[in-house]
Amino acid sequence: MKLYAGNLSYGTDENTLRKAFEQHGTVDSVNIITDKATGRSKGFGFIEMPDDAQARAAIDALNGAELDGRTIKVSESKPQERRPAGGGRGFRGGPRRY
């Protein structure tokens, strides 16, 4: 099961997050999302746990818990919504100006 962890401290690293979730079961992977330009954490990440019962136990135990001075939010990850292609005037739209 893929879990979402939000409201993370910018100082929380993947190792700290892994240790918190491993107290409740096996963790396959941890991925904290970072800004591409700065490399700084965006304050949320994803954890994959192979056992659904352990993942639900982690949600129950860690949602609202304190980690690195912040009250974190933990839930089952929702599928990413599709965004419309294009946008702006880029290469495909708008009048050409020579």
E-strand stretches of 1-98: 2-6, 29-34, 41-48, 66-67, 70-71, 73-76
DSSP state of 48: E
d(CA 67, CA 65): 7
pTM above threshold 0.75:
yes
- Write down the pLDDT at residue 95: 61
- Write down the pLDDT at residue 84: 75
Domains of the chain: 2-75 (3.30.70.330)
Share of the chain above pLDDT 70, in %: 86
d(CA 55, CA 28): 11
For the segment 82-91, what is each residue's pLDDT rounded down to a tens digit? 777 665 555 5
Token pair in block for residue 4: 């979402």
